[in-house]
Each structure stands twice: as C-alpha cells, then as structure tokens.
Chains A and B, each alone.
Chain A
Amino acid sequence: MIYNIVHSILREAGNINGYGLFSFILFFGFFIGVLVWAFALKKNHLNHMSDLPLDGGEKNSTDTIKSEKL
C-alpha cells in the first residue's frame, strides 16, 4: 500500500521514472540516517559544540566593544 501511495505521488509529480524512484529512496534513507544520528547525540556533547563560537580563546576579550546604542 505504501509503495502504491509513494508511486502515485511520484507519478503525479510529473512522469517520474526509475531515476526518480532511485533518487527518492536514496535521499529518504540518507535523511532517516541523519535523523537517527542527530537524535542519538548526547546532551552534554551538544552543549559543548554549540558553545564553541562563544569561546574564541582570546586573552583580551572584545566583548566590551559595542555597536549598539549605549
């Protein structure tokens, strides 16, 4: 049934043949893999990663430099 639904969607999208089906399956598999991978990551690792830009290692921080109205 799922095959029929997917097949009909692709057919309606404009004469998609084997190339389209192959491409779709390839991407679908790839995308699911990335999702599983991303959600398997541990919270503390993600926190460490997202903090990376905030610590540039500079000895004299430039954080006091302003571009906004004081």
Chain B
Amino acid sequence: MNVETFKYDNRIVRAFGIATIVWGIVGMLVGLLAAVQLFFPDANLNFQFITFGRIRPLHTNAVIFAFVGNGMFMGVYYSLQRLCKARMFSDWLSWFNFWGWQTIIVAAAVTLPLGLTTSKEYAELEWPIKIAITIVWVAFAVNLFGTIVKRREKHMYVAIWFYIATVITVAVLHITNSMTMPAGLFKSYSMYAGVQDALVQWWYGHNAVAFFLTTPYLGLMYYFLPKVANRPVFSYRLSIIHFWALVFLYIWAGPHHLLYSALPDWAQSLGMVFSLMLIAPSWGGMLNGLLTLRGAWDKVRQDPVLKFMVVAITAYGMSTLEGPLLSIKTVNSLSHYTDWTIAHVHVGAMGWNGFLTFSMLYYLFPRLYRTNLWSTKLANYHFWIGLLGMMFYCVPIYIAGVTEGLMWKQFNHDGFLQYPNFLETILQVVPMFRLRAIGGTLYLVGAFMMAYNLYRTAKAGQFEPDTEAQAAALEKAPVAAGKSAFHRMLEGKPLFFTVLATVAILVGGLVEIVPMFLVQQNVPTIASVHPYSPLEVLGRDIYIREGCLGCHSQMIRPFRSETERYGEYSKAGEYVYDHPFLWGSERKGPDLAREGGKYPDAWHFNHMDDPRSTSPGSIMPRYSWLLTQKIEVDTLPSHLIALRRIGVPYPVGYENGPAQKDLQAQADKIVANLKLGSVKADSDKEIIALIAYLQRLGTDIKSAPVTTAAK
C-alpha cells in the first residue's frame, strides 16, 4: 500500500473563521439598528443611508451571505480536506474564493445603503455584483470538485453530497433569478414581470434558505457532530434517505410564499403539499443528529460545543416543523405579512445557523491554534446569553405576529372592521418590538463574548498553518458486485452523482416554472392595464431605492378582511408591466396595491415629509430628502429603453423627447394639485415622481381600456 504524506490548509479555514466572526457581528449590529427603528423611527437620524428600508436588506444579506456564507466556507474547507484526505485542489482558488467573497460583501455594504438594489429579497445586489458572485461561486465549485477528484478516500461521505447539492443548486437559482436587463451601471430591471417574477423570485428565495442556509449546514452537522461527540452518526442509512428526499422535495416548496396571491391555484397547492411532505426528511435529519448523541448526553452537560450543537439541531427541527405548518393555506392566511414569519426565520437563523456556526468556531479555533479553549466558562455564558437572547427575540415577535394577524381580520358585530385604522394594529405590538430589540442585544453581546474568547485562545496558542496527514493513495478497484453496487459506484463517481443530484433539484423547478411561462391562461390579461408613465417609472425607481416593500405589500388577498380594508383584491393581469414585481412579504404599514386616489397629493407630500403629521404615532421614517433631491431625468431614456427591451410597449423613439414632455406635464399637474392643498413644491423634486407612482397604484382596473402604449 502506497502511503502518502500531505498537508491540510488551515490558513484558509482561519481566514474564513475570522471573516465569519467579524461579519456576524456587523450583520447583527445592523439588524439591531433596524429593530430599534421600528419603535424609534428617528434612530436613522434623518440620514437616508441608514433608514430601515435600506438597511433591512443589508441586515439579511450580511447575516445570510456574510455570516453564514463565511461560516459555510470555513466548515467546508476544513471538513472537505479531511473527508477527502487531500489538500484543497488549488490554494490560489481558495484565496480567490476568500477575497472575492469579502469584496462582494463590501460591495453590498456600500451599494445597499446607497439604495442600489433590485428589490428582490435576498437577491438585492445589482447586476455587476451578481456577475462577481457567479465568478466567485464557480471558483469555489472548481476547487470543491477538484478536491473531490484528487481525493484519497474512495467513497464520498454524506456531508460531501450536501456540499455538491449546495454548489449546483445555488448556481442554478442565482443565474435564473438574476436575469435582468441593465439600465445603467447600477440599475437593472428583472426580465420577468409580475406573477412570473414573483414565482421565480420565491422559487429562488425559498431555496436560498434551503440550499444556502440548510443543505451546507446539514453537511457540516454530519461532519462536526460525530467529530465532537466522538461517535459515528446514528444511522448512515437515514442520512442517505434524508439527503435524497430533502433535495428532491425542497425545490418544489417556493410557492408557499405566495399563497392566496394572484399566483395560479395549482402552483399554490403544489407548494403547500410539498412543503408538508418536507417535514419527513427534515425531522429524519434532526433525529439522526440528536440520536447520534445517544449515550453521550453527559458530554452535552459539559462541552459548550455540544450544547450549541444540540440547540442548533433542535432549532432546525422546530423551524422545519413550523415552516410546513405555515405553508398550510389556512394558517398562512393568518400568518402571512405578519411578524410571525420574522419570528420563524429567526428561529432558523439564530438557532440553527447561528448556534451551529458558534459551535464550529469553538471547535475549530482551539484546534487551529493547538491549545485548549481559553475560557469554557465564558463559552457557557455565551451559550446561555445567546439562548436567552433568542427567546427574548422570538417569543415577543410570535406574539406580535399573531396579534397583527388577528387584529387585521377582526370584524365587529355590525360587520365592519374592528380596527379599520392599520396604524392601530401596529401600535398595539410596538412593546413587542422593544422586547425584541433587547433579545437581539443579548444575542449580540454573546457574539462579542465569543470573539473575545477566541481571540484569547488564539493568543495563547500557536497557529498551525498546515496540518500534516497521511493516507494511502487511491487505487482503482473493481466496482463491487451485488445489490448495493449501484450506490457504492455512485459514491465513487462524483460526476455521475452530481448529474443525478442536479436532475433531482431541477425537476421541481421545471414542473412549476415552465407552465407558468408557457400557459397563457395563467396570467389573464386586463385590457385597461397599461405601462407606467415616464414620471411613474422614475417614481417607482425611488420606491425601489428606498426599500418601501420592506414594510408595504402590493398584493391584496381575496379575503373580506382585506377587500374591506384595501379594496378589490389583486389580479395577476394587473402586474404584467411590473419589472420587478413589488408584492413584498411583510406589512409594517398598510398594503399599497390600491393606494392610487385614496388620498390627495398634498397628503402624500406631508406624509413623506413627516409621517407623524398625518398619522400620529406612525412608525414610518421621515423621507424629507425626497423634498429636496432632484429627479434624475437624464436616466429616463436608458430606463425606458431597458424596459422596452424586456417587453414593455413604449414606442420606439418615445424616450427622445415625447417622454420628457409627458413627464413634465404630469409633474406640473401634481404641483398644481399640491398648490390646492396649500403645499408649495418644485416639479423637479423626487417627491413629485413618488407621488405620481403612488397615485397610479391599482387604478388601472378602474379606468377604460387603453389602446395607445405609454398613455
């Protein structure tokens, strides 16, 4: 037997580890700032770049892609080398992956506060950054597959399967959902419109959770848990079933984000049924994890690494039970748009991803520095303060969510809405928002404690840049015969395995998305729906820039409680020119789908200047900069051309003169309306464009059919 000596690369693991800690703290801090603004709107200091609508996507992106993303790379780069008994395929690619990813994070941290966003949740970054993500991800994929190819262990352990599924699926999701038409260096419009955009977005959004936050972390669980507990996984058989059932099912569940929306019923039902079926593999995985600790629970009492892991796996079980339950249409009719969803995702993010990341960091740093953890006591304090923080975060927000849902639906004895003023329902839960911020603070304090503990550990030890290892070279052996030969061959043939996994993840997407694009009846057209006017297009761009959809939905569901409050329920045909769709997923303010004509222009002007002047107690931030900043009229031609290229019927040449004339005429009309309301404003200010857009919302179905485009 030819035994080879080689070295594992620890430098790259350490680099990703440090990035995980730094970005984790940054992401949580931004989350805390956003949380505080929900009960103290002036916490943005009237500074547009840190206003809720802009930093909410910064928080989600930082936590998902910077904190968990770096944590994932850290764990994969450590475990993959050891499971393959080989150094990473290319050190250069490893470092390209590292610096490329950090550059993307910095680019996100700069562009999102500037309002450069596509508005599609968890895919907000503009097209040049999306291209950079693709390149870095391909580098990671080449490095991963290269390492697998040069491995010294014949069989691929189940963790590697999860890594492969992650690499493939994230690539498919990212590319499909990023199809945009550039309209400038940092502006683009989604190729898809309305219902189709919504379906693609939530197919992506849901599976970003599945294949970025779940599958890689399950792979890491299957590696690190046996390692820490020093015993093999409870059932390897179960892990095989867990893997295949999970990757096949997850991809179908996206439409559960669009229940009771204008999405066709068949797609909603598919999303619901497959979400429910997901309980089985998810709980199979959770039980496999927890049962691995059978006979080792005494260790859990002592070892903080295991404590964090047990809570992480339990949180995974809780959120994967709750997710399918929230996908049941009746439950969803209450929970959707409320804070219930926020609580649900935070059980997953803080419990599953956060705690598993903490456990990996506590496991890895002492080993990378070849010393014991500096303070077990401090790690234990971190565990308890983190757990308390999670409780203080989630429990009040669950209460808030259910309260909101019930209040929105409540009718009085006379058949009228009990709480017709939306603001009343939000003010009711503001105390819960305060408690949530306390919970978030506790969780953040825990993260600081960990950072200090790991820093002291590093100081006390000696970093080992390369770990020497030995293993026999992989020799070509004949494939075993018998019943299990197929599977053993599969484990030994990464390419064949990858093809099968790709087919498994593609089936669900194809069955749901292809008919949506091909079958005309899925989006019935409405003759009176026409494209946005030039001023409305620019107003819509401002709406996107400010992240208004973080708090305001544009999708009225067909419930009496919604039609009473907002008006006629939303139809698929109303959104055919909406590139991108702006349905939103959360209501901290009322739905705006039928906002047009509800209030006079002057009301909108005053409301944007100071929301509390028109709605006492409102938690909406002031948008006073819209009153002074000028509309970027020079961007109009490129925006109209981009929209025409993706199917919006603006006449050729419309952008060279006629559009500007129409824009000025509409702006002058709004200025005249404002004058009637005793408001003096210039026609070239951003507030005018935003008012034009808001006054247009939902009015098409009330007007007569229009035959001329852009009129």
Residues of chain A touching chain B, judged by Cβ–Cβ distance below 8 Å, are 10, 13-17, 19-20, 22-24, 26-27, 30-31, 34-35, 37-42, 45-54, 56-60, 62-63, 65-69
Contacts and interface: CB of A to CB of B under 8 A. Distances in A.
Contacts, number: 162
29 contacts: A15-B266, A19-B266, A20-B270, A23-B252, A23-B273, A27-B248, A30-B244, A30-B504, A35-B241, A37-B240, A37-B487, A38-B240, A42-B482, A49-B157, A50-B226, A53-B157, A53-B226, A53-B232, A54-B226, A56-B85, A58-B468, A59-B5, A59-B468, A60-B467, A60-B468, A65-B367, A67-B304, A68-B304, A69-B302
A56 B82 contact: yes
Contacts of A49: 155, 157-158, 236, 491
B424 interface: no
B91 interface: no
Contacts of B482: 42
B237 interface: yes
Interface in B490-541: 491, 504, 507-508, 511, 515
A32 B379 CA distance: 44
Nearest to A17: B266
Contact of A41 (B152, B231, B303, B487): B487
B155 A52 contact: yes
Contacts of B379: 67
B696 interface: no
Contacts of A39: 237
A53 to B, nearest CB: 5
Nearest to B226: A53
B486 interface: yes
B230 to A, nearest CB: 7
Contact of A67 (B273, B305, B370, B470): B305
Given A17-B266, A19-B270, A66-B376, 4 more contacts: A52-B153, A53-B83, A59-B469, A67-B379
6 cross-chain pairs, A with B, having the tightest CB-CB distances, nearest first = A68-B303, A50-B232, A56-B82, A40-B483, A57-B469, A68-B302
Contacts of B504: 30
A47 B222 CA distance: 14
B79 interface: yes
B373 interface: yes
Given A19-B511, A46-B236, A67 B376 contact: yes
B488 interface: yes
A38 B377 CA distance: 43
Interface of A is mostly: helix
Contacts of B135: none
A69 B681 CA distance: 68
A8 B85 CA distance: 52
A26, A37, A67: which has the most chain B beta carbons within 10 Å?
A: A67
Nearest to A10: B273
B236 A50 contact: yes
B418 interface: no
Given A23-B274, A52-B155, A58 B467 contact: yes
B159 interface: yes
B159 A67 contact: no
A41 B372 CA distance: 40
A30 B5 CA distance: 42
A37 B82 CA distance: 27
B265 interface: yes
A54 B491 CA distance: 18
B227 interface: yes
Nearest to B157: A52
B240 A13 contact: no
A50 B103 CA distance: 38
A46 B223 CA distance: 15
Contacts of A58: 8, 82, 467-469
Contacts of A47: 232
Interface string B142-169: 0000000000110101110000000000
B241 A65 contact: no
